[in-house]
């Protein structure tokens, strides 16, 4: 499973490079936190982290979605993944955008029917909100598992993004469920590799090296 950093904050991105993340994923909340004009914020982030850049649409009607996606493409080029919440309007826009060579991530998905329909509709990516599904009594990892199985067994091209990752357990569950990508905030990344035993080993090996005859 590859990792998308869910941030465009410069400090987060610089730190995320050490973890070898594979791209960036955003929503309007993430972009607003940077407090820069969006084109500048997106362009600056794209210079730090390579790979796909999932940028969230805010328009909710077909023509508006298409126009905004084209504007996003003028900034990010072929790195752009057009991210938009699943709806009748976004499904209509997706057909046009894919015909124009743009890839689409249908997001806001919290249920198995939503995930199945998005896959069958031909989305390039779908983002399943694990944490948000759990918050309302759902089964986030169950949705990821069902979607991953459907995509694999049905020969669909759709890649599954486990989003709204809240911690290590979500990351493990998403990996075991067969997700292709994990959308992680920066604060989760250190937790994935840290362990008291490892920290103690680092200190111990350094102390033992001091005893080695040089």
CA dihedral 60, 115, 121, 182 (to 10 degrees): 80
Q: How many CB atoms lie within 10 A of CB 154?
A: 11
What whole-number distance in Å separates Cα of residue 106 and Cα of residue 174? 18
Which residue in the block uniquely carries the two structure tokens 């009594």?
Answer: 137
> Active site residue: 83, 103, 187, 191, which one?
83
Half-sphere CA count of 188, side-chain side, radius 13 A: 20
Pairing of strands 53-56, 23-25: parallel
36 is catalytic: no
- The DSSP line for 29-88 is HHHHHH-S-HHHHHHHHHHHS-S-EEEE----SHHHHHHHHHHHHHHHGGGEEEEEE-SH
Half-sphere CA count of 63, side-chain side, radius 13 A: 0
What whole-number distance in Å separates Cα of residue 214 and Cα of residue 212? 6
Which residues are part of the catalytic machinery? 83
């Amino acid at each position: 499973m590859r990792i998308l950093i869910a941030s465009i904050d410069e400090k987060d991105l610089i730190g995320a490079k050490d973890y070898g993340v594979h791209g960036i994923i955003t929503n309007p909340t993430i972009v607003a936190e940077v407090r820069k004009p969006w084109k500048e914020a997106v362009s600056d982030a794209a210079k730090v982290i390579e790979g796909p850049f999932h940028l969230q649409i805010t328009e909710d009607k077909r023509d508006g979605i298409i126009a905004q996606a084209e504007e996003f493409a003028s900034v990010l080029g072929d790195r752009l993944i057009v991210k938009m919440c699943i709806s009748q309007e976004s499904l209509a826009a997706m057909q046009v955008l894919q015909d124009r060579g743009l890839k689409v991530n249908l997001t806001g998905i919290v249920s198995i029917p939503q995930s199945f329909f998005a896959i069958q509709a031909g989305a390039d990516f779908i983002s399943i909100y694990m944490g948000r599904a759990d918050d309302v009594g759902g089964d986030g990892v169950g949705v990821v598992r069902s979607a991953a199985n459907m995509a694999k067994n049905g020969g669909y091209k759709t890649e599954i993004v486990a989003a709204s990752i809240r911690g290590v357990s979500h990351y493990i569950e998403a990996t075991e469920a067969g997700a292709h990508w994990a959308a992680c905030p920066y604060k989760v990344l250190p937790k994935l590799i840290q362990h008291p035993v490892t920290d103690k080993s680092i200190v111990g090996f350094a102390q033992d090296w001091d005893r080695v005859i040089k």
